[in-house]
Amino acid sequence: MSFRNTVIWKDIQEIITQKTNPYPPGQWKGVLENKIGHIVPLVIKNIDIHKDFVNKVSDQITVSFLIDKGTYLSKIYPYISNTYMTLYRYPVKGVSNTKPITYDFNEKYKAIFLNKHNYKPKGRKDEMVSTLGSELLDVVVVNMQLMPVNVLPMRLKWVSGTYLGYTPQMTLESVLTHELSLIKVNGKPAVDEIHIVKPDNSKPVKNLVVPSDTSILDYPSWLQHQGMGVYSAGLGTFVSKIDKKFRFLVYPTHKVNSKYPTLNLFVAPDFELGYNETTFKKKGNSYHIVGHIDGGYSEEKEDNELVHGVGFRTPTSHYYTQGYPNKYVKITKTGPQGQSTKVNYKVATHGREDGFNLAKRNASPSTSNPYSSYSAYIPQTGNNINFIWQQSDSTILYPSQKVVLHRLIGDTLVKTDGILSQITTIVQMKGKGIVNQESYTETTVLRFFVPNGNV
């Protein structure tokens, strides 16, 4: 059967034949700022934006641009320790010389010079170029890492304290609200909004002591693993600009966040899809996106079950009193016998058909916090899929967003549910000249987790 005669083609055609493109191709520009003033690169070559919602706390961005050697040596290289960069994006269509440009992206970053990947001054000839301040015939490529200016002061903020009778929700709200309100960027609060998904653990702790060397960015993770425990499906902390507001998010990494629109991903063969500038559409409280799968999916579940197990065992702190077993050990004629249901948490998601149901003892010490163990185990129970989205708008993607993958296997439509865990957006220049008169291609790889290996 031809792909265009299948049930999935109607949904794809609805996306690619829209009269109005919700995210038309655009131009990217950059402006550097240091003590010399403002410096405009000749052209932005490419931008890589990586958002790891499981393991990182903010955007990881690298930018590559072209600039003449004289400007680089005289106005950029001597001031690399205190440089900022603002990135701009605006749609190519509709730009007029008589109207001001409307930017759909405008963000300022701390620029970090990547020494290993940049040109370094060499000898007297470069000294002369630097003095003259211009050498248009000699162009260099400059690579920088960009850090959101709102995140930078958070890395220097430490928290500590003692909390009596607080639940995880209470201590998260108390610490984050107070400490983040003290951080200002250009006279304004560094964070516009704090959003904490309701914790699975609602039990108060009599005495919680937060050590003084805890970073504000690491505090939720500390609470999850060393403190009382928060979520049973992992904990993520992400600070980023979402919906035009800078937000501090705390959420379970392997559980769907229903606050955000669902992503319906439709898989089409490259030869059928071809090149389309329109690749997604908003429908109700969901987005419909067309693309393809990169190399199928990552089959990790089977190996994880055999090596790491289908569950875990961890001793409860109630088993010990000053280092000695307490009442959960019964003395019998044949010796002491522990009641394992009282001395261990035992967790397993399912039994294997072959009977190899490994459940290793947790390597961490005795604890009354099983949430860290749950969270370490959950990623082993599923697989990961990479979905390639061309002409993408990554601003509609959020941590732990629900994903529904629609694809054909034979002539059968198969739907797979998942949870968004990472995105990587690659912005590349279309033109080849120093002055780029064309737009850029923007491609995003969405990596999502499929629980229980249901692919």
CATH code of the domain containing 203: 3.55.50
15 lies in the same domain as 159: no
72 lies in the same domain as 121: yes
Look at 431 and 82; give whichever has higher pLDDT: 82
106 lies in the same domain as 142: yes
The pLDDT, as a whole number, for residue 2 is 74
d(CA 341, CA 17): 60
- Among 381, 400, 423, the domain-final residue is 381
225 lies in the same domain as 343: no
Mean pLDDT, rounded, for 71-81: 92
d(CA 190, CA 374): 33
273 lies in the same domain as 408: yes
The CATH number linked to 29 is 2.30.300.10
205 lies in the same domain as 331: no
Segment among 129-143, 154-168, 259-273, 316-330 with least mean pLDDT: 316-330
Question: For residues 114 and 60, is the Cβ–Cβ distance under 8 A?
Answer: no
Confidence of residue 243 (pLDDT cuts 50, 70, 90): confident
Question: For residues 67 and 41, is the Cβ–Cβ distance under 8 A?
Answer: yes
Dihedral of CA atoms 167, 168, 174, 175 in degrees, nearest 10, equals 140
> How many domains is the chain built from?
3
23 lies in the same domain as 134: yes
430: its two tokens: 């279309």
273 lies in the same domain as 417: yes
Select from 322, 298, 289, 321 the least CA-distant residue to 449: 298
144 lies in the same domain as 174: no
- Among 193, 218, 251, the domain-final residue is 251
What is the domain range of residue 23?
3-54+59-150+257-299+383-453
Mean pLDDT, rounded, for 152-179: 94
Look at 261 and 241; give whichever has higher pLDDT: 261
Q: pTM to 2 decimals?
A: 0.83
177 lies in the same domain as 307: no
The pLDDT, as a whole number, for residue 450 is 93
Confidence of residue 284 (pLDDT cuts 50, 70, 90): very high
309 lies in the same domain as 387: no
Select from 238, 201, 198, 189 the least CA-distant residue to 217: 238
State pLDDT tens for residues 26-39: 999 999 999 999 99
Q: Across all residues in the chain, what is the average pLDDT?
A: 82
The pLDDT, as a whole number, for residue 318 is 43
Cα-Cα end-to-end distance for the chain: 23
310 lies in the same domain as 210: no
The pLDDT, as a whole number, for residue 339 is 46
- Other residues' Cβ atoms within 10 Å of the Cβ of residue 85: 22
Question: For residues 180 and 248, is the Cβ–Cβ distance under 8 A?
Answer: yes
Residue 321: pLDDT above 50?
Answer: no
The pLDDT, as a whole number, for residue 415 is 94
Residue 140: pLDDT above 60?
Answer: yes
- Among 342, 365, 381, the domain-final residue is 381
Confidence of residue 7 (pLDDT cuts 50, 70, 90): confident
